Amino acid sequence: MFPSPAETRAQWAARLPGVDTSPMEVVAALKHAVGLLDQTLDPLYEGAGLTPAEIGTLVPLRHATRPVIARRLAERLGLSPAGVSKTLAKLEKRGLIARTPNPADRRSVLVTITEEGARTVDDLFPRQLAAEGELLAGLGADREWVLGALRRLVEVMEGNRRRS
């Protein structure tokens, strides 16, 4: 039905000679992996009242030793400050986090997880880890190799992003 990523790349290369189509295969593999992960986790979140993005925002707050500046949280998550701010507003409205003005810098806010937020993470996150573990179980001994390759990919992408 659809051509493989390599066939698609070849078709684009024929249509646009001189354009480097090599990133397509890496990006297509990443998007496919993310899609499979999303499909695996969707049933877990259907009845949870949270989205994967919301739990992803709560998890680093769960064991933070002090309040976190929202901008730093966005950097840690690799997301835009505006997107994280929107997620934090939803979490605050539901009583899962608290935001307070930063006394050292009135332009920023400090974020802490509430007791209810911590209970929510403690309930949902282990189930997410179990689902992810099942999805990745076939990696076996290749797990460390894949992890090293992904770390290298992130390192390269972060370096290139900083230069732009």
Q: What is the pLDDT of residue 13?
A: 87
- Which residues lie across from 112 on neighbouring strands? 98
Q: What is the pLDDT of residue 122?
A: 96
Quick: pLDDT tens for 31-50: 999 999 999 999 998 888 89
Cα 21 versus chain centre, distance = 26
Read off the pLDDT of each residue in 43-59 and give the average, rounded to a whole number: 90
H/E element holding 74? helix 70-77
Q: What is the pLDDT of residue 86?
A: 95
Q: If pLDDT is split at 50, 70 and 90, which confidence band does 94 have?
A: very high
Q: What is the pLDDT of residue 57?
A: 95
Tokens read off for 31:
């998007």
CA distance 123 to 150: 28
Q: If pLDDT is split at 50, 70 and 90, which confidence band does 9 have?
A: confident
Read off the pLDDT of each residue in 96-119 and give the average, rounded to a whole number: 93
Domain edges within the chain:
50-135
Q: Is 125 exposed, middle or buried (0-12, 13-18, 19+ CB in 10 A)?
A: middle
- Which residues lie across from 111 on neighbouring strands? 68, 99
In sequence order, what are the residues at sequence separation of 6 or more whose Cβ sits closer than 8 angstroms to the Cβ of residue 130? none
Long-range contacts of 113-116 (CB under 8 A, 24+ apart): 113/58, 113/61, 113/62, 113/64
Q: If pLDDT is split at 50, 70 and 90, which confidence band does 10 have?
A: confident
Quick: pLDDT tens for 124-142: 999 999 999 999 999 999 9
For 50-135, the fitting CATH number among 1.10.600.10, 1.10.10.10, 1.20.1540.10, 3.40.50.720 is 1.10.10.10
Tokens read off for 141:
């001994």
Which residue, 41, 58, 43, is CA-closest to 133? 41
